[in-house]
Each structure stands twice: as structure tokens, then as C-alpha cells.
Chain A
């Protein structure tokens, strides 16, 4: 069974803290993604990575950074958490297949910044 695993289901952090969200996939996928999900806004792409140490900004990268040191792991970093970053964060991975490959998602991390 293919697996994308996010390190936490729920997180509560304080404003100004540095926050790490970890995602690991066991499918040897080149592509990995971080999305943010908010009511009425659907899934918005924060960053994606198509190879180790490679990254590209998505639609809403401000306030976030990412790290991909190993193929299976893609980390999302909130440099200084703010209350408007309270959200559901979803990690996904896929093959680099010119668009036809579906994405596999983790179970999500619900982050609350207080």
C-alpha cells in the first residue's frame, strides 16, 4: 500500500514559534507537494519539489519555506508562525509523469497558532 505519512495530526503552536511539518512517502516519488486547505478556498499550493534539493514556489509561499534533503522526506517550515497560518496542511506525492499521475495524500496536519 502506498503511503504518505505526516508526522502530526494536530499541532498547537504559539505566535512567533518556528514550526516544522514533516512528510514522508514510501513510493519513491520524485514530486512532493505541500498544500494548505481552508474552508471555501479549497487546496492552495504552497511549495512543491520535483527532486531532492529542488523546490518551486506555489501560489501562496509567503511565510513558508521547505526542505528536501532526501527523496522520501519533504518538510514545510513556518519561520515565525502567525495566527493566519492556522489551517489544515496536506502533503502529497506523485510520479513526474507529465501530468497523468495522480497525487497521493497524507492524512493532514491541523495546525492551530495561538
Chain B
């Protein structure tokens, strides 16, 4: 079974629009970690954020914000006032304390920001 689901395969928005990328996860561990990565056209995945299962505080970093809700097993990512440079593939990932050496990635969401 897929541990991390990113239902949105592709999203297109016009520059300056807000966009939310969805991530739903599945785990039985009580201690786990969620990540978001950005993969620009150059190919290298870049780490954006990590949350642990005990910290449900939302986080904001500039135009980026993350909404972690254990009740719905979701860890959604919002880009405010999108820019062309935000165009990339975004991956959500899960790691579990009990299988700490593995990361489970979603299938990614390809975001295109149209100027």
C-alpha cells in the first residue's frame, strides 16, 4: 500500500496565485517524520521542511507554509503569491522511527507557474 499519496499529478497556476499541494500519509508508528522536497528542472531534490509527529504547529517560511493535521493524516504545502521560479516537481515523504533508514516518497506533484 502506498504510504504517501499525492493525488495531484500536475497543477498549473498563473503567477501570483496561491496554490496548495496535498499530501496524505499512512503509518502505524507513533513517531514519524514528514518531509517536503522540491525538484527543479535541474534534477536535484532540495529539502524544504521536516515535521515530526508530535509537532502539529503550522510553519511559515516566507511565501511557503505547511499545514500538518494528524486527524486527517495530511501535510499540505501552500505557496502564496506563486512565482515562475516555483515551477518544479514537489515530493512529500515519510520516515518512521521504527524503520528509520527508509524514506517513503509520494509520486510527486508537478507545478507549473505561468507568467
Interchain Cβ contacts under 8 Å between A and B, 22 examples: A40-B9, A42-B6, A42-B91, A42-B106, A45-B103, A48-B102, A58-B102, A90-B45, A92-B45, A92-B103, A98-B31, A98-B97, A98-B100, A99-B96, A99-B97, A99-B99, A102-B35, A102-B47, A104-B47, A105-B45, A108-B44, A110-B43
Interface of chain B residues 38 through 59 with chain A (CB within 8 A): 42-47, 50, 52
Q: Give the Cβ gap from A42 to chain B, nearest Cβ, in Å.
A: 4
Q: Give the Cβ gap from B43 to chain A, nearest Cβ, in Å.
A: 4
Q: Report chain A residues within 8 Å CB of B50.
A: 100, 102
Q: CA–CA, A92 to B108, complex, Å?
A: 17
Q: Report chain A residues within 8 Å CB of B95.
A: 99-100
Interface of A toward B, CB cutoff 8 Å: 9, 31, 33, 35, 40-43, 45, 48, 50, 56, 58, 88, 90, 92, 94, 96-100, 102-108, 110
Q: Report chain B residues within 8 Å CB of A33.
A: 103
Interface of B toward A, CB cutoff 8 Å: 6, 9, 31-33, 35, 37, 42-47, 50, 52, 91, 93, 95-97, 99-103, 105-108
Q: CA–CA, A39 to B52, complex, Å?
A: 29
The 6 closest A-B pairs by CB, nearest first: A42-B107, A99-B100, A99-B95, A108-B43, A105-B45, A98-B100
A50 touching B47 in the complex, CB below 8 Å, given contacts A42-B106, A100-B33: no
Residue of B52, B102, B107, B108 near A100 (CB, 8 A) is: B52
A96 touching B101 in the complex, CB below 8 Å, given contacts A40-B107, A41-B107: yes
